[in-house]
Structure 1
């Protein structure tokens, strides 16, 4: 059996990113190395983790595409929230950006898209 355990995102400043996710989403810090090159959040069953760009370079000998704040990758983190408007406001206050204004989908779900402080795409949505 395979269990999805964690997502690691490579970032320029791990501590600042952990702080952003604490402020924007209320996640709690699980772990941060003394070198501040790797950190994890308590986010439910699946851990959200951040590693410094230097670790990406050492782990990925063929290279990788670094995230930017202009156009996100074709992947997103999805967070279910009770109030999308309030969740988006917290992201912006923490230093994130609105990528797509919230909309109500034909099936009744409210969905909005934001970028974190690195440019990673996050969907904020109500439960289906």
Structure 2
């Protein structure tokens, strides 16, 4: 059986990224390597992980496209559900997130907003479905 285990974001500063997610969303640090080039946060049944760009480059011989907050985000997002989208956005902004789409109610009743983190990754903040 295959089970989705984690997503890894390649970031400039692992400790700074982890601290942002802890402060912005109240997540709990699971692990950080002694050299601060890899970390994991508890986010439910899966893990949100971070690897330094340097570590990622050592793993991928042909390289990769780095996330850049000054360019358009990648066509992928991290999603967090909450009963209070507005409060979550305020906390994330205090931690350094940038709001790129204010909360909107979708035709199916879900409230959805979009942020970018310190490294430019796209984050959806929304109410739960159903």
Q: Residue 24 of structure 2 aligns to a residue in which SS?
A: helix
Correspondence 1:68 to 2:68: yes
* Structure 1: tracts of 5 or more residues without a match: none
Q: Residue 40 of structure 1 aligns to a residue in which SS?
A: strand
Question: Which residue of 2 is the match for residue 14 of structure 1?
Answer: 14
Offset of residue 101 of structure 1: 1.1
**Structure 1 Cα separation of the partners of residues 73 and 84 of structure 2:** 24
Q: Residue 112 of structure 1 aligns to a residue in which SS?
A: strand
Question: Which residue of 1 is the match for residue 30 of structure 2?
Answer: 30
Q: Residue 86 of structure 1 aligns to a residue in which SS?
A: helix
> What is the alpha-carbon root mean square deviation over aligned residues?
0.6
**Structure 2 Cα separation of the partners of residues 4 and 53 of structure 1:** 23
Q: Residue 89 of structure 2 aligns to a residue in which SS?
A: helix
| TM-score of the pair, normalised by structure 1 | 0.98
**Structure 1 Cα separation of the partners of residues 10 and 34 of structure 2:** 17
Q: Residue 127 of structure 1 aligns to a residue in which SS?
A: coil
Q: Deviations over 1:38-94 (max 9, x none)?
A: 000011111000000011111111110000113110000010011110111111000
Aligned length, in residue pairs: 128
